[in-house]
Amino acid sequence: MSVGDNRFQIHGAAMVQASLANTGDISQTQPTWLGPLLTRLDPLDAAWPPVAGDQRGSAVIALLGLSEDPDLVLTVRSAELEHHGGQISLPGGGREPGDAAPCDTALREAQEEIGLPRTLVTPVGQMHTHEISVSNNWVIPVVGVWSGAEPVAPKDTEEVDCVLRWSLSQLADPAHRVMARHPRGGRGPAWDMGELFLWGFTAWVVDSLLRLGGWEQPWDHNRLAEIPARFMGKHPLDH
């Protein structure tokens, strides 16, 4: 896909409606929850922005199913990975030579990691770039929508242990929301989902997504939780 591909110039409602029209199912319409989110996302970059020095450009994708109570696709990374092993993440990874834009990287990684063909995803915008110093990455979160009907499962089993699909109503529920306290003293938004714990960069993306889409509910920012060891990765003090 070239830098000049005009699909990367389209943003928001027009792109979604065009995608739904292409399915041939006239019963499909843009859900009401999507409108506010589309107005608050940044347009998709038509090309990769430059990064400084030896930093690596990366992209992740927040995949939202087109239902009245949309869910978000997350993965549990293999505990054997050098960086962020065992943590909950969004599908994504580093830029490769054939990736003209962040959207290319995010869609390719989703197909490689969870087997979701890029043709079934409609990218609708992106969020602010975030630096992850432990892996020397500049990460751009891309937001995409899909039908939610196709099965997704780990395809790259060396990188992904399992696939999670959490509804935005679950994620917005204040009962699941906590502030994670890192051993080095840092704090950030997190989710305590019983046996699973979401924190770090992915939690920052989810927190921002809820706020941008108008799903966020008031929650107790003083409710602190220690990060369980299994979600700290191989080098917990490097985060």
pLDDT digits (tens, 9 = 90+) for 145-194: 999 999 999 998 888 999 999 999 999 999 999 999 988 778 999 999 99
Number of helices (H) and strands (E), helices first, in the chain?
Answer: 5, 12
Q: Compute the average pLDDT of residues 77-84.
A: 68
- The per-residue pLDDT for 84 is 59
Residue 2 scores a pLDDT above 70? no
The pTM score is 0.85
Q: What is the CA radius of gyration of the chain?
A: 17
Buried b (16+ CB within 10 A) or exposed e, 25-59: eeeeebbebbeebbeebeebbbebeebeeeeebbb
| Per-residue model confidence as pLDDT tens digits over 220-237 | 999 999 999 889 865 444
Residue 139 scores a pLDDT above 80? yes
Q: Cα torsion at 233, 206, 188, 158 (round to 10°)?
A: 0
Q: Which of 7-21, 84-98, 150-164, 211-225 has the highest mean pLDDT?
A: 211-225
* Res. 85 pLDDT band, cuts 50 70 90: low
Indicate the average pLDDT of the chain: 85
Residues 6+ apart with CB under 8 A from 156: 112, 113
Residue 22 scores a pLDDT above 90? no
Check: CB of residue 228 under 8 Å from CB of residue 189.
no
Q: Is the Cα torsion angle 74, 79, 81, 87 positive or negative in sign? A: positive
User: Regarding the domain delimited by 6-43+54-169, which CATH topology (the fold level of the hierarchy) does it fall under?
Assistant: Nucleoside Triphosphate Pyrophosphohydrolase (3.90.79)
Higher pLDDT, 74 or 233: 74
Contacts within 8 Å (CB) and 24+ apart, 26-29: 28/66
Q: Select from 52, 128, 139 the least CA-distant residue to 92.
A: 139
Residues 6+ apart with CB under 8 A from 140: 45, 57, 58, 59, 60, 102, 106, 126, 127, 129, 130
Domain residue ranges of the chain, discontinuous segments joined by +: 6-43+54-169
Strands 88-89 and 130-132: unpaired
